[in-house]
């Protein structure tokens, strides 16, 4: 089995080299870029399985890189983990709204980073055990094995995390999913009480579901429930 490919986009040389060393030691095939423009170009040729993207870079920052990645049909499905500093709370929210799948706060341990990378890769891989191979109601069709969703005949791109979130909600149709449970199940970790991450992804998911957005119901003070009409 070939090694998973990781693209590191980080302007700080020492951090970039440290990431390359630790990720290679963990068994990944690593490529690195020192700025946003180089990162976008390398992403097109290297076609990584996941991208580690520094948020604060001169010139084109991580938010703009993420925006362009998610706007490119050939690259939009690649999971993105943003590397952020502790004081960049608002930027984390914006990054998640742009389609980033996770964020890791600097300074971080190599072990923590590898665990987070593996968690995101799992979300973008095999479907949930409890999920059917396909699901359809009215004009909403989901192919869980192919990680594809179409609305009224048009394919809609979802990030790995958005697809995992939708899968978990559909698998528990009719049941209330608390924010804490979704954090543990979808993100394979608990974001230290950072429940707004769930709200941000649900909001993005509703936008992409279009006319079927209200099938994801808000249970005030608790979490969310998926409730679609019977076939």
C-beta of residue 182 within 8 angstroms of C-beta of residue 190: no
C-beta of residue 137 within 8 angstroms of C-beta of residue 228: yes
57 pLDDT above the threshold of 80: yes
User: Which pLDDT value is given to residue 1?
Assistant: 63
Q: How confident is the model at residue 34 (pLDDT cuts 50, 70, 90)?
A: very high
**Neighbouring residues of 20: CB distance < 8 A, sequence distance ≥ 6:** 8, 30, 32
Task: Enumerate domains of the chain plus CATH numbers.
Answer: 5-123 (3.40.50.2300), 134-226 (1.10.10.10)
User: Which pLDDT value is given to residue 193?
Assistant: 46
SS3 call for 119: helix
For 153-168, how does the pLDDT look when each residue is reduced to its tens digit (9 = 90+)?
A: 998 888 878 888 999 9
């Amino acid at each position: 089995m070939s090694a998973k490919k990781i693209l590191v986009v980080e302007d700080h040389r020492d951090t970039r080299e440290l990431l390359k060393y630790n990720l290679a030691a963990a068994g990944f095939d690593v490529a690195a870029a020192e700025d946003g423009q180089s990162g976008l170009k390398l992403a097109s040729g290297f076609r990584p399985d996941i991208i580690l993207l520094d948020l604060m870079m001169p010139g084109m920052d991580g938010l703009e890189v993420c925006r362009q990645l998610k706007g490119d049909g050939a690259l939009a499905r690649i999971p993105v983990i943003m590397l952020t500093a502790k004081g960049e709370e608002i930027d984390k929210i914006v990054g998640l709204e742009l389609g980033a799948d996770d964020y890791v706060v600097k300074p971080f341990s190599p072990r923590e980073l590898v665990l987070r990378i593996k968690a995101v890769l799992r979300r973008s891989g095999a479907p949930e055990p409890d999920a059917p191979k396909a699901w359809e109601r009215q004009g909403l069709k989901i192919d869980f094995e192919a990680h594809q969703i179409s609305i009224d005949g048009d394919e809609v791109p979802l990030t790995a995390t958005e697809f995992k979130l939708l899968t978990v909600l559909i698998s528990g149709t009719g049941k209330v999913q608390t924010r804490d449970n979704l954090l543990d199940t979808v993100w394979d970790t608990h974001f230290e009480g950072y429940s707004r991450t769930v709200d941000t992804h649900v909001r993005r998911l509703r936008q992409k579901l279009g006319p079927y957005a209200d099938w994801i119901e808000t249970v005030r003070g608790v979490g969310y429930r998926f409730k679609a009409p019977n076939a």
